[in-house]
Amino acid sequence: MRVPSRVGVAGVTGAVGLEMLAVLEQRSFPTELVRAMASGQREGRTVRFRGADLPVETLTARSLDGLDIVLFATGAEVSREFVPAAASAGAVAIDNSKAFRMDPAAPLVVPEVNPAAAFEHRGIIANPNCSTIQMVLALKPVHDAAVLKRVVVSTYQSVSGTGLAAIEELTAQSRAVLSDEPVVRDVYPAQIGFNCFPHIDDFDAEGNALEETKMVLETRKIMGLASLPVAATCVRVPVFRSHALALNVETEKDLDPAEARALLASAPGVRVVDDPASAGYPTQAGTAGTDEVWVGRVRRDPSVPHGLWMWVVADNLRKGAALNAVQIAELLIGEPRH
């Protein structure tokens, strides 16, 4: 891999794409050039990067020529078309969509959990689902110490994962409710202003939302635990940024909460805040914009022999998407920095 690299960011005008640019800049990722791309791009649009206005090019097969790394913040449909094209053109494509995550030929990588997998790519590396990334960072130290037996998780997911239009919808619906005006729905299938709903991505015939299935299958793939029992309910909550998880784990061996806290506190990318009586626990508003996965409320679940509860919060646009993708790129150029 050439360093400094020729880097492309596709889908650069969305919430994740803009965050990818910000992370590249903040982490001083070594670049020879940075090309900003978006599909169906209007003429003349620019994005700010390192103090300059970067023109946004229309994403085409030709626009992917001559790049070493392309970060894709595009939706699955666009990724299915252009990610293989980027790989064919000689780049490594790091794709944030769900398109290639379960493809056996594409590694699914969280640098703190399975960094070696990044080097087994054939031109395409998949960036996992936002909720899954923060969950596996909390599960890894627990598994290493006590062996996971079963995971049951309920999520509290912010709207920014859906994109900028969803942020606007939460804003507009919240204003409408506060003014006693009618709520207008556009992006979401149910009201999000002052409301929660258990519907993230499409449903399968058994009634599972695809987001829930992602948390099952992606966790198994990242952790290399092909048959790990995982059960998930995914819920959208009226919060702008960061996702939270109520995470219940059952382990083969006993793991004292104090020991779990110590293991988590020394795990890469994880921060522990656990003094609940003094309101010492992570929240979404308190962690928005941060890079870490925050864990609190570590306590025994006595309803099984070796049960443990954790409350896991992370910025879904940073560690849950853009930061994780850039960390994968750092692995590839031999500059992993947590």
Catalytically active residues, by annotation: 130, 243
Question: Using CA atoms, how far apart are residues 228 and 221, in angstroms rounded to an integer?
Answer: 10
Least Å from the CB of residue 322 to a copy of itself: 21
Judged by DSSP in three states, 176 sits in helix
Of 31-39, 113-121, 138-146, 203-211, the window that binds a copy of itself (rule: CB under 8 A) is 203-211
Question: Is residue 312 part of the contact set for a copy of itself (CB under 8 A)?
Answer: no
The only residue of 22, 69, 118, 230 in contact with a copy of itself, by rule CB under 8 A:
230
Handedness of CA 210, 95, 267, 286 (dihedral sign): negative
Contact 317, 160 (CB under 8 A): yes
Q: Which tokens in the block code for residue 234? A: 């995914």
Helix (H) or strand (E) holding 131: helix 130-146
Q: Rounded to whole angstroms, what are the CA distances from 301 to 248, 298, 306, 315?
A: 8, 10, 7, 26
The only residue of 18, 117, 223, 298 in contact with a copy of itself, by rule CB under 8 A:
298
Strand 243-251 versus strand 307-314 pairing type:
antiparallel
Residue count, binding to a copy of itself (CB under 8 A)? 60
Which has the closest alpha carbon to 223: 231, 235, 215?
A: 215
Contact 210, 234 (CB under 8 A): no
Given the structure tokens 């936002």, which residue do they identify? 130
The only residue of 30, 84, 115, 198 in contact with a copy of itself, by rule CB under 8 A:
198
Question: Is residue 182 part of the contact set for a copy of itself (CB under 8 A)?
Answer: no
Least Å from the CB of residue 117 to a copy of itself: 24
C-beta of 298 vs 325, nearer to a copy of itself? 298
Contacts 24+ apart (CB under 8 A), 167-171: 167/15, 167/240, 170/238, 170/240
C-beta of 1 vs 285, nearer to a copy of itself? 285
Question: Is residue 233 part of the contact set for a copy of itself (CB under 8 A)?
Answer: yes
Question: Is residue 147 part of the contact set for a copy of itself (CB under 8 A)?
Answer: no
Question: Is residue 202 part of the contact set for a copy of itself (CB under 8 A)?
Answer: yes
C-beta of 102 vs 231, nearer to a copy of itself? 231
Contacts 24+ apart (CB under 8 A), 333-336: 333/1, 333/3, 333/5, 333/30, 333/69, 334/1, 334/3, 335/3, 335/30, 336/111, 336/115
Of 34-42, 99-107, 145-153, 321-329, the window that binds a copy of itself (rule: CB under 8 A) is 145-153
C-beta of 231 vs 262, nearer to a copy of itself? 231
Question: Is residue 290 part of the contact set for a copy of itself (CB under 8 A)?
Answer: no
Question: Using CA atoms, how far apart are residues 218 and 118, in angstroms rounded to an integer?
Answer: 15
Q: Which tokens in the block code for residue 324? A: 């994780």
C-beta of 68 vs 250, nearer to a copy of itself? 250
The only residue of 6, 80, 220, 297 in contact with a copy of itself, by rule CB under 8 A:
297
The only residue of 194, 253, 289, 337 in contact with a copy of itself, by rule CB under 8 A:
194
The only residue of 145, 164, 237, 262 in contact with a copy of itself, by rule CB under 8 A:
237
Name the residues that contact a copy of itself, by CB under 8 A: 150-152, 154, 156, 170-171, 174-175, 178, 189-191, 193-199, 202-203, 206-209, 229-231, 233, 235, 237-240, 244, 246, 248, 257, 274, 276-277, 279, 281, 283-286, 296-304, 307, 309, 311
